[in-house]
Amino acid sequence: MRQAPVRRRQAVSVRMPSHRLRIVTAVLVAALCFVGGCAKREQPKEQVPPASTEAAPSRQISRLSPPKAGEIQEAVKRVFNEAAVIDSSHNPNFIVGDFNGDDSQDIAIILKPAPGKLSEMNEDAPAWILRDLGMPAQPGLASPRITRNEVLLAVIHGYGPDGWRDPQATQTYLLKNAVGSDVKIHSKREFLTENQSKKLPRLFGDLIGEVLQGRSGYLYFAQATYSWYDPKTFKGEAERRLIHPGAEARTEKFGLFNLRAKKEIATKK
């Protein structure tokens, strides 16, 4: 008579833990699902990169569209009128970059004198600055002459955010003996990083790398003109750069003085 209650209490004690276990298990599963759901909902927010707080770059060159044939033709006509034409035998026959480092896109175009216009290309005071890379940039030398069907490189400097496309972009350097093969653009920053151990000229902007007369080198803007840099033979820059008489007349007209004028002024004082 006394053993029956004991068995009932034992049976109850056995059933209770399993009931509580099921309740606890259900609560834990619900909690895990809630936490997992929250994590999944928060995950996309963590993957989105934060907005950049850096200031917008000053140069807008990268936003400009690639040059179109009509735009290049218009730029050539703006500077040379009808005296020069684009040399279609070269492909590509142009390259863009910021060669003088003023944050405005420039363009270098391969040209040749237009038929019957050689005299216009050799006028005394042209609208461009003529430079022969095959001659040393020294004062006193005769101004170079352009020959018939000669291949030339015209570098038109940009003006403002529109660069060389701007109607006011007329400052142009016309280079003889400057068209080679394997023409590529090299940014100033990358070039300086890759050539830290070499003796380098003072650079203002991007460089034009090419193979010229069997030598690998670079065209670069040297403040007053364009020069050729050969890493194997470069020993340093000359103190002054040659500007042909026509360019001197134009710069004096706009109130800029060449080296000779500065010396004369100093002597008078």
What six digits make up the tokens of 69? Answer: 């044939």
CA distance 225 to 173: 7
Report how far apart, in Å, the C-alpha atoms of 121 and of each of 19, 76, 114, 158, 170 are. 103, 13, 9, 22, 16
Q: Are 172 and 154 in contact (CB under 8 A)?
A: yes
CA distance 87 to 151: 8
**Over its length of 269 residues, how does the chain's per-residue pLDDT go in tens digits?**
455 554 554 444 444 455 565 665 666 666 665 555 554 454 444 343 333 333 334 446 768 999 999 999 999 999 999 999 999 999 899 999 999 999 999 999 999 999 999 999 999 999 999 999 988 766 667 889 999 999 999 999 999 999 999 999 999 999 999 999 999 999 999 999 999 989 999 999 999 999 999 999 999 999 889 999 999 889 876 644 444 444 444 433 333 334 443 444 344 44
- Residue 142 confidence (pLDDT): 80
CA distance 224 to 239: 11
Question: Where do the domains of the chain lie?
Answer: 61-262
| The model's pTM | 0.67
- Residue 26 confidence (pLDDT): 64
Beta-sheet strands, E only, within the chain: 84-86, 94-97, 106-113, 129-132, 152-156, 172-176, 181-186, 207-212, 215-221, 226-229
- Residue 244 confidence (pLDDT): 43
